[in-house]
Amino acid sequence: MRFKASINIMPLEALLDPQGKAVSQSMGNLGINDISNVRIGKHITLFVDSADENLAKQTVEQACTKLLCNQIMESFDFSLEKV
């Protein structure tokens, strides 16, 4: 079976997000004052060929923990859909 994984990686809440802070300040400069506390992360989409959904989840989890996400500074979550 083939699965599509949608992965979101975000900076940990306890850490400063310089990109998000710069965007938050720029919103105010543009007169968009209702937006604050912007956090900027990454979105990754990939496909997994696996015998079942549980194995596909394990594969994506392994990819995130070993390569895609720096768990010292980032957290991740993902969803799978069968394609």
pLDDT for res 18: 94
DSSP letters for 2-58: EEEEEEEEEE-TTS--HHHHHHHHHHHHTT-TT-------EEEEEEEE-SSHHHHHH
Computed over every residue of the chain, the mean pLDDT equals 96
Tens digits of per-residue pLDDT, 29-49? 999 999 889 999 999 999 999
Q: What residues does each domain of the chain span?
A: 2-82
The CATH number of 2-82 is 3.30.1280.10
Q: Note the pTM of the prediction, 2 decimals.
A: 0.89
pLDDT for res 36: 87
Per-residue pLDDT tens digits of the chain, which is 83 residues long: 999 999 999 999 999 999 999 999 999 899 999 988 999 999 999 999 999 999 999 999 999 999 999 999 999 999 999 99
